[in-house]
């Protein structure tokens, strides 16, 4: 199971805003696919999958502030459950 999380990228970054989901729960996901777009204090950022599988639940909604380090969804390998 790969956790998709908001990375801490700078010394002044506490939160990011989830802008949009590009994959829905249950969607197949390939390595490199953009799963969600977030906005940090400097830029917008595509969160991409490193592994393939199926996307889990959305743990945040668009416009939610997400503390850095927090997981916003998971990519499930075949046979895995959330």
Partner 1 sequence: MSTTTDTPTRVSHPSYSEAFQQGVREEMTTNPDIFILGTDLVERGGHFAQVKGIAQEFGESRVKDSPISEAAMVAAGLGAAMYGLHPIIDLNFIDFSFGAMDEIINQAAKIRFMFGQPVPLVIRATSGVALGGAHHTNALEAFFASTPGLSLAIPSCANDVKGLIKTALRVPDPVIFLMHKKLSGVRSEITTGHQPIPFGKANSVRPGKDAAIITWSYTLFTALKAADELAKEGIEVEVIDLRTLWPLDEDAVDAAIKKYGRVVIADEAPKFGSLTAEIAASATERCNSDLKGPIVRVGGVRAPISANPRHSDAAIPTVAGMIEAVHKVMKY
Partner 2 sequence: MAYTDLQSLLREMLVIREFEETADKLTLRGKVPGGMHNSSGQEAVAVGVMSALAADDVIATTHRSHHHTLAKGFTPNEIMAELFTKATGVSKGRGASMHLGDFKRGHFGGNGIVGAGVGIAMGAAMGIHQRGDKNVSVGFVGDGGLNTGRTWESLNMAVIYKLPFILVVDNNQYAVETFVGRVTGGNDPAKRASGFGLPSFNIDGNDVLEVQKYTAEARERAVAGEGPTFINALTYRYNGHNVGERGQYRTQEEIADWREHKDPIDRFTAYLLSTGDMSQADLDSMKASVHAEIEAAVAFAESSPEPDLSTLTDGVDSGLLGAK
Residues that bind partner 1 (CB under 8 A): 2-5, 7, 11-14, 17, 19-20, 37, 39-50, 75
Name the pairing type of β-strands 53-55 and 28-29.
Answer: antiparallel
Of 2, 10, 9, 22, the closest CA to residue 73 belongs to 2
Both structure tokens of 32: 């490199």
x-marked contacts with partner 2 along 12-41 as a string, rule CB under 8 A: -x----------------------------
CB of 13 to partner 1, least distance (A): 7
Both structure tokens of 10: 């700078």
CB of 48 to partner 2, least distance (A): 12
């Amino acid at each position: 199971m790969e956790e998709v999380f908001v990375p801490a990228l700078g010394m002044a970054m506490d939160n990011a805003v989830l802008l949009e989901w590009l994959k829905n729960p249950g969607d197949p996901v390939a390595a490199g696919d953009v799963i969600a777009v977030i906005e940090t204090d400097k830029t917008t950022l595509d969160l991409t999958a490193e592994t393939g599988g199926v996307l889990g639940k959305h743990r945040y909604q668009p416009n939610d502030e997400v503390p850095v380090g927090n997981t916003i969804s998971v990519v499930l390998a075949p046979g895995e459950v959330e």
